[in-house]
Structure 1
Amino acid sequence: MNSPAVLRVTHVITGLGQGGAEAVLFRLATYPDQHVHHTVVSLTDDGVYGERLRAAGVTVHTLGMARGRVSLSDFLTLRRLLIAGKPDAVQTWMYHADLIGGLAARLAGIRALAWGIRNSGAHLQRSSRSARAVLKLCALLSGRVPAAIVCAARDAAVRHEQYGYRAERLVVIANGYDLSRYQPDAEARQRVRQSWQVGDDVPVIGCVARWDPLKDHANLLGAMASLVHDGGPQRFPELRCVLVGRGMSPDNAELAALIDRLGLRDRVLLAGPSDEVPAVMNALDIHVLSSCAEGFPNVVAEAMACGTPCVVTDVGDAAHIVDQTAVVVPPEQPEALAQGIARTLENIAVRGRQAVGDPGRDRVLAEFDLAHMVAAYDAVWRRIAQESR
């Protein structure tokens, strides 16, 4: 029997807040002219993407589960929802949704189930106890529950196989980007810099990432302190750093104390979360990934697509994403990160920001176009739907 021309796919995700997995799901579900009807189930709430998805014509259900816990009634509600929806395939996103959504789908009689791994699996000791327990349980169930396991990064696939995930189920699909939205934009650069109160000639580095130990903002701020206090002013007397994301605000006492301890209060701008990531990327001279663990870091490809030069730590698929277009340094070494930033700033001073950033945009255009990602997911869903018949 052939797979249906229009495939019904239900996505189960922990929440719809401002994160990388949520952004990828949004791009996937709202891509035009595809032969898939998407339904999204958030185990918690609407977050920031719920209403955006509905506005794009996607059906969204929210279950209102408490984060980190699930009751029997919550689980049975999800199962009933899946039975009523009669999807041809179910795609879950991230560990908790893989476990909860996966078991609910199988108990609803759905065998065409794909898990979604967004985490690199590195530095598990820094993850929550809940996340570690769920990962171990998923590894044990990986040969019985999902028909496919989609990883966003090659590095994540290798590491999860080492943790016990079934190798024959693993598929790598790199994230794709809407390159009509992520592109160089001189007007956006000027507008955002004016809001930050920095002139166009002021060198600005920055990072778009939520407050999380794995994002390692201490690494970036340590590098910034090295550039500013250890001879840096002679080369970069006006250097500023902008931090964008959830928790990047003055009321984050731990972050504020770190900034003060490093003597960076006048050098660091805490801009908070933003719905205008492309504009933010355009406003930066360099986007810095300072993480100690990643899967497939969206922000790197987003910065590159905007023509923004990057410096990245060698985590997850970051080095693969930038290839030869950016400086790659070891993680958790602020001095090495400072040297990478300095080298890139000096390169920009000689060649110009556009010349330094153009190769990165060219790479994203060639390798990480959104259409490639949509087609790859479609192929997985149709395969498992066909195999389940």
Structure 2
Amino acid sequence: MDVLALSTYDDAPFMNQQIDALEQRGVSFERLTVPGHVSADESRGASDYLRFFPEVIREARNGYDLIHAHYGLTAPMALAQRRLPVVLTLWGTDLDGPAGPLTKLCASRCEEVIVMTDGMRHRLGTDCTVITFGIDLDLFRPIDSDRARAEVGWPDDEHHVLFPYSRERTVKNYPRAKRIVEAVDDRVDRPVRLQAVHGVDHETVPTYMNAADALLLTSKREGSPTSVKEALACNLPVVALDVGDVRQRLAGVDPSTVATSDEELVYGLVEALERGERSDGREAAREVSQEETIDRVLDVYERATDSETELERSKPAVPQR
């Protein structure tokens, strides 16, 4: 199967891992990214997206079996061509943010739609399949914490709380995380340092996960946060707001906390640091292994191409002249 993949970001590790895993299963990909500059505090303009339309339409003529559009804002370009079936994957912020109405309109016109959580499925209000991005359990695994801290250069006489995002990404709410850690710092035996880790090679992220004492998630909204699943795979305790599918992912994991207020975040982080134990999250992470999720994505691809075949068969024959 040959697939044209559209995205707004070319450096999204969770998307690229999925594509790499699909390629290992025999799927061939060509990737197109919306042009223009984007950063943590700067978005593309409308002209960037308009320039993407003709690029997608031209490329779609080159013999693909389907288009896989990642993120709602790529759906209009995918649908602008009329030759190929479209699979749309929604990440969460595209459904809940300002582009939500456009995303919902486009989703209803795609052959298949993938969402991250049951909550997203209910909010979308149209037929879709819940498949979260999978985790490479060979890459994300527990290793010795002392060795991991030595590799990343973190001192042993401090508690280290991981914030695995850019400080500038407003939706991740670094100021709230900083406020929580400052409150916790007065209540535990050792200094607490908030470690904002961003822009490192993805292969080194497991080392930071194993060097940390807890992961803190303070996002304003999420779909299915990959960092939480990666932390589970490394047995890193997670203290998180109740966003996206966090409550589902952390169900039964100890120690972990799903909070709805600053007070609960502080309490959960204090408890995790004072206990000083790794979690039992790896077993829960097996539910979202890369292998499991790739099987389900392939099923979606087959349904999308089968539905297109049935559509072609159902069209009336055109009389020959």
TM-score with structure 1 setting the length: 0.71
CA contact under 8 A between 2:148 and 2:208: conserved in structure 1? no
Paired amino acid for 1:14:
T
Contact between 1:15 and 1:46, CA under 8 Å: does it hold in 2? no
State whether residues 44 and 67 of structure 1, in contact with CA within 8 Å, keep that contact through their aligned partners in structure 2: no
Q: Which amino acid aligns with 1:330?
A: A
Q: Are 1:175 and 2:133 counterparts?
A: yes
Q: Partner of 2:308 in structure 1? A: 388
Instruction: Call closer, same or farther: CA 1:373–1:245 in 2, change over 3 Å.
Output: same
Give the drift of 1:157: 1.7
Provide closer, same or farther for how the CA distance between residues 99 and 113 of structure 1 changes in structure 2, counting only shifts above 3 A: same
Question: 2:104 is matched by which residue type in structure 1?
Answer: A
* 2:197 corresponds to 1:224: no
Does the Cα contact within 8 Å between 1:117 and 1:151 map onto a contact in 2? Answer: yes
3-state SS of the aligned residue for 1:69?
helix
Counterpart of 2:193 (choices 240, 246, 252) is 240
Instruction: For structure 2, list consecutive stretches of 5 or more residues without a partner in the other structure.
Output: 310-321
- What is aligned with 1:113? 86
- Over the matched positions of the two proteins, sequence identity in percent amounts to 19
Instruction: Verify the 8 A CA contact 1:301 1:321 in the aligned structure 2.
Output: yes
User: 143, 158, 161: which is aligned to 1:202?
Assistant: 158
**3-state SS in 1 of match to 2:58:** helix
Say which of 98, 103, 111 aligns to 1:147. Answer: 111
Summarize the Cα distance change of 1:30–1:73 in structure 2 as closer, same or farther, 3 Å threshold: closer
> Cα RMSD over matched residues?
2.5
Deviations along 1:211-265, one digit per CA (max 9) or x if unpaired, are: 3222122221121121124xx1xx323222211126xxxxxxxxxxxxxxxxxxx
Matches within 5 A, 1:1-389: 7-17=1-11, 22-31=12-21, 33-44=24-35, 68-70=46-48, 74-84=52-62, 86-100=63-77, 102-106=78-82, 109-110=83-84, 112-120=85-93, 124=97, 132=98, 134-143=99-108, 145-161=109-125, 167-168=126-127, 170-186=128-144, 190-193=147-150, 195-199=152-156, 201-210=157-166, 211-229=168-186, 232=187, 235-245=188-198, 273-275=200-202, 276-325=204-253, 326-331=255-260, 333-348=261-276, 353-354=277-278, 357=279, 359-365=280-286, 367-389=287-309
Residue in structure 2 matched with residue 268 of structure 1 by the alignment: none
1:150 match: secondary structure: strand
Residue by residue, what CA displacement relative to the aligned partner does 1:266-310 show, whole Å, maximum 9, x if unpaired? Answer: xxxxxxx45421111111011111212110000001011112111
- Distance verdict in 2 for CA 1:46–1:363, change over 3 Å: farther
Shift of 1:105: 3.3
Provide the rounded CA distance (Å) in 2 between the counterparts of 1:347 and 1:69: 52
Decide which moves more: 206-215 or 294-303: 206-215
* Local SS of the residue matching 2:184: helix
